[in-house]
Amino acid sequence: MDKKDAIKIFKAISDENRLQILELIGSNQVCACKILEHLNIGQPTLSHHMKILCDSGIVCGTKDGKWIYYKINKEKYMQAFNFVEQIINTNSQINIKCDKC
């Protein structure tokens, strides 16, 4: 995963409503109507949030008739997780010892 993709994902999940949406979806495939039942937002606002989540790749939507069912893209999730883990485990390019650390 490159930095641009990671930034898109982290921006997408940095909103309280979108985090709540991810919590509602969890490991399931959830209809947009069920997400709306649990959030205090309207359908246009949900569509906006879902577009951001889908554009980042962290959520996938499947249309069935007039409804869209959403699920977390576990592959993208793992790529983002591994990206952060790689940053944490990489030796810093700064070789300055801090007396306070």
pLDDT > 80? residue 22: yes
Which pLDDT score, from 0 to 100, does residue 92 have? 67
Q: Nearest CA to 73 among 81, 64, 85?
A: 81
Instruction: Examine residue 98 and state whether it is found in any structural domain, yes or no.
Output: no
Domain count, the chain: 1
Instruction: Examine residue 31 and state whether it is found in any structural domain, yes or no.
Output: yes
> Where residue 40 sits, what CATH number does that domain have?
1.10.10.10
Instruction: Examine residue 49 and state whether it is found in any structural domain, yes or no.
Output: yes
Mean pLDDT computed over 46-72: 95
Report phi then psi at 92, rounded to 5.
-65, 150
CA 88 – CA 19 distance, rounded (Å): 23
Which pLDDT score, from 0 to 100, does residue 94 have? 65
Instruction: Examine residue 35 and state whether it is found in any structural domain, yes or no.
Output: yes
Instruction: Examine residue 88 and state whether it is found in any structural domain, yes or no.
Output: no
Which domain range does residue 23 map to?
3-80
| Total-model pTM | 0.84
Instruction: Examine residue 100 and state whether it is found in any structural domain, yes or no.
Output: no
Mean pLDDT of the chain, nearest integer: 91
3-state DSSP helix/strand/coil percent for the chain, to nearest 5?
55, 15, 30
4 token code pair: 């641009």
Mean pLDDT computed over 33-60: 95
Mean pLDDT computed over 29-54: 95
Mean pLDDT computed over 54-60: 97
